[in-house]
Amino acid sequence: MVGIIIVSHSQKLAEGVAELAKMMAADAPVVPAGGLDDGTFGTSFEKISTAIDSVYTDDGVVILMDMGSAVMTAEMVIENMPERKIRMLDCPLVEGAVVAAVGSSANQSLEEIAESVQDAASEKKL
Q: Which of 9, 10, 61, 101 is catalytic?
A: 9
Q: How far is the CB of 42 from other proteins (least distance, A)?
A: 3
Q: At what angle do helices 69-79 and 45-55 cross, to 10 degrees?
A: 60
In 3D space, the residue among 61, 38, 47 whose CA is nearest the CA of residue 8 turns out to be 47
Q: How far is the CB of 19 from other proteins (least distance, A)?
A: 23
Give the CB-side neighbour count of residue 12, counting CA atoms within 13 A.
Answer: 2
CB of 18 to other proteins, least distance (A): 20
By C-alpha distance, which of 3, 68, 65 is closest to 31? 3
9 catalytic per annotation? yes
Contact criterion met (CB below 8 Å) for 70 and 76: no
Q: Which residue, 17 or 48, has its beta carbon nearer to other proteins?
A: 48
44/105 with CB nearer other proteins? 44
Q: CB-wise, 10 or 105, nearer to other proteins? A: 10
Catalytic residues: 9
